[in-house]
């Protein structure tokens, strides 16, 4: 879920110090170092792309219920095999100058050098839960970004039409491994034998 910084006020406010700074004129001018410093000092989810920052609003309860269910399902299989699964907020570097914060990030090997403390340098699989305010961000923009990052598998969990789309990377672009609906089990290509009930995901409470 994202707030379009061009459509809303973007300010840094520290009332205790009497500071109110208008950050909107800085759009396009942010450096990676400034972005990293800013996100180290706030609990807001913020993404960064070529000098521009995008502030993500607080997730809903429905979003969090789906997120935590999927996290537990992925964690059960991945950690048993020696991998690592984490959830947002955690920065993922797509490339120098571009950072995303996927809802779920996974590496099959916890010793993978892309696993870093401040931010990950890549992932084997990411999951996004589609935001109702701007669905194209998860459906159109992030597939391009995650393909650019070389992430082998991208799950798009879409509460708007109750589908789970599993994309796999082929020749530097994503192709659909499957679009799964109620009554189906969404199946991973990367994780042998792993699947989740679409109904269970969207009926989670």
Confidence bin at 25 (pLDDT 50/70/90): low
Residue 18 within any structural domain of the chain: yes
84 neighbors 64 (Cβ within 8 angstroms): no
77 neighbors 108 (Cβ within 8 angstroms): no
The helix (H) or strand (E) run that includes residue 71 is helix 61-78
Residue 2 pLDDT more than 50? no
Residue 5 pLDDT more than 70? no
Q: What is the CATH number of the domain that holds 156?
A: 3.90.1570.10
- Residue 1, pLDDT score: 32
Residue 12 pLDDT more than 70? no
Instruction: Identify the residue whose tokens are 């708007």.
Output: 160
- Residue 17, pLDDT score: 54
- Residue 10, pLDDT score: 56
Domain enclosing residue 77, as ranges: 61-202
Same domain, 181 and 131: yes
Residue 71 pLDDT more than 70? yes
- Residue among 51, 73, 137 nearest 102 (CA): 137
CA distances from 24 to 8, 13, 30, 145 (A): 9, 13, 11, 24
- Residue 8, pLDDT score: 41
Same domain, 77 and 43: no
Residue 97, classed as helix, strand or coil, is coil
Same domain, 49 and 93: no
In this prediction, residues 88-110 reach a mean pLDDT of 93
């Amino acid at each position: 879920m994202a707030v379009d910084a061009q459509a809303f006020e973007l300010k840094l406010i520290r009332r205790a110090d009497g500071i109110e700074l208008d950050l909107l004129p800085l759009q396009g001018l942010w450096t990676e170092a400034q972005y990293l410093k800013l996100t180290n000092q706030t609990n807001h989810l913020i993404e960064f792309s070529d000098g521009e920052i995008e502030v993500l609003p607080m997730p809903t309860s429905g979003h969090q219920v789906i997120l935590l269910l999927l996290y537990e399902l992925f964690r059960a299989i991945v950690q048993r095999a020696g991998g690592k699964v984490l959830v947002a907020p955690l920065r993922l570097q797509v490339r120098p100058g571009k950072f995303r914060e996927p809802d779920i990030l996974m590496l099959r090997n916890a010793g993978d050098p892309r696993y870093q403390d401040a931010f990950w340098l890549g992932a084997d699989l990411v999951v996004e839960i589609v935001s109702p305010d701007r669905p194209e961000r998860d459906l159109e923009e992030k597939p391009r970004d995650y393909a650019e990052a070389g992430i082998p598998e991208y799950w798009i969990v879409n509460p708007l039409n109750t589908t789970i789309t599993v994309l796999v990377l082929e020749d530097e672009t994503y192709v659909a491994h499957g679009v799964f609906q109620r009554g189906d089990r969404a199946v991973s290509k990367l994780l042998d034998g792993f699947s989740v009930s679409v109904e269970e995901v969207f009926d989670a409470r």
